[in-house]
């Protein structure tokens, strides 16, 4: 018997059910934790407000097509770069570097909390956390 993947099945590469809920709760924890740490760090809330949405500039990559858009979006919404920056910031005691990393991680957590996952090349609405947007 052959099993086909529906738009909501794990076979399509998207998390579902309790796993999806857990991933979204992890996003909430990251957002809240990094925002709290930023406040304890005594970072400037003007800088936080200014940089919080900066990773979303990666949306512009979709102007070049869904494959490039997904690649650029994922690069800006993966933990890899901000964690490397945070590590560098701790190693060098660079406060601005640490602030940028905390804000960037808070943004990623916020997006994950809302269900905006890493993108597949099929289009913006196809994420590792499931489909977003209108289904057509």
| pLDDT at position 5 | 45
- Helix-helix angle 17-40:95-114, to 10 degrees: 150
- Specify the 3-state DSSP secondary structure of 125: strand
Whether residue 54 has pLDDT greater than 90:
yes
Which H or E run includes 25? Answer: helix 17-40
| pLDDT at position 2 | 40
Prediction pTM value: 0.87
Please report, for the chain, the start and end positions of each structural domain, with discontinuous segments joined by +: 15-129
| pLDDT at position 14 | 81
Average pLDDT over residues 30-49: 96
Q: Considering the chain, what percentage of its residues have pLDDT values greater than 90?
A: 74
Cα gap 3→51, rounded to integer Å: 45
Which residues, other chains included, contact 76 with Cβ-Cβ below 8 Å and sequence gap of 6+? 55, 56, 57, 58
Cα gap 33→54, rounded to integer Å: 19
Condensed to tens digits (0 to 9), the pLDDT of residues 79-113 reads 999 999 999 999 999 999 999 999 999 999 999 99
Q: Which pair of tokens denotes residue 46?
A: 């003007």
- The average confidence (pLDDT) of the chain is 89
Whether residue 4 has pLDDT greater than 80:
no
């Amino acid at each position: 018997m052959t099993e086909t993947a529906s738009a909501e099945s794990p076979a399509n590469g998207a998390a579902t059910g309790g796993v999806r809920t857990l991933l979204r709760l992890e996003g909430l924890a990251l957002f809240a934790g990094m925002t709290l740490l930023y406040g304890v760090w005594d970072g400037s809330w003007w800088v936080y407000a200014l940089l919080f949405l900066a990773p979303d500039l990666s949306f512009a990559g979709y102007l070049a097509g869904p494959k490039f858009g997904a690649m650029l979006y994922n690069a800006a919404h993966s933990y890899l770069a901000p964690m490397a920056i945070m590590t560098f910031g701790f190693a060098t005691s660079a406060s601005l570097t640490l602030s940028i990393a905390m804000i960037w991680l808070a943004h990623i957590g916020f997006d994950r909390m809302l269900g905006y996952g890493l993108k597949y090349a099929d289009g913006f609405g196809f994420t590792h956390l499931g489909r977003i947007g209108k289904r057509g």
